[in-house]
Amino acid sequence: MAGKMAGKTALITGGGRGIGRAIALSFAREGARVAIADLDPQTAQQTAAELPLPGLGLRLDVTQKIQVQETVARVLTEFGHLDVLVNNAGYVTYSTFEECSEETWQLIMDINLKGTFLCSQAVIAHMKERRQGAIINLSSLAAKNGGLAAGPPYAAAKAGVSSLTIGLARYLAPHRVRVNAIAPGVIDTAMTRSPQHDKMATTIPLGEKGQPEDVAHCALFLACEDSRHITGEIIDVNGGLYMD
């Protein structure tokens, strides 16, 4: 199949639904073979079955290092190489500074920040050896505005993802591996269906929530050769909620 991702392979965490699913479908339509890793194996397998090219639907808890390593090894065995990693797996639940429990803080940090680190760490050696590859992290508007609709642990975790993106981009640039991030605003998914997000959506300058496909278009750009000279960037997809 011809396309911007022809001959490429990709691993997308949290790819069973929402933004991850949209990215998987976008990549596959452009010719990529895609492995979808999700904590819910049923959604991973369902989305994999929708792809126009044979894909993989795998269960993965991104907070568990051994599982991450085994998943990357499985993808390499099945596909032979890995060109793109999309660290999309995430979790959010709203809490205030006073009400946030230690357990909630740790869970959100583990899934959003630790998971991004572990998955990136697992592909570094392979991408360095091939002297090519792209890592795309999902940060958030919350990393820039302090988490007005998401709460303190999510904002802190996503700010960590943004910083990790820049550090990893600088580290891997000599090896021709690019690392960038996307910072979505209020995107119409199950994760943002809350009173806090609904209130924020009314202030979007472009007048409506974003769709998962809006983020997928940006991910496709960062994954293919169109962005060959871009690394260390955090791109906003937020309808103008935050402008810099």
Q: Please name the residue ranges forming H helices in 131-180.
A: 142-145, 152-172
Handedness of CA 118, 234, 131, 83 (dihedral sign): positive
Q: Which amino acid is at 237?
A: V
Out of 94, 154, 171, 242, the active site residue is 154
Which helix (H) or strand (E) segment holds residue 111: the answer is none
Handedness of CA 108, 111, 116, 117 (dihedral sign): positive
Quote the CA–CA distance of 63 and 118 in Å, as a whole number. Answer: 7
Strand ranges for 110-202 from DSSP E: 133-138, 177-184
Q: Is residue 154 annotated as part of the catalytic site, yes or no? A: yes
Q: Which two tokens stand for residue 231?
A: 């690394």
Residues with active-site annotation: 154
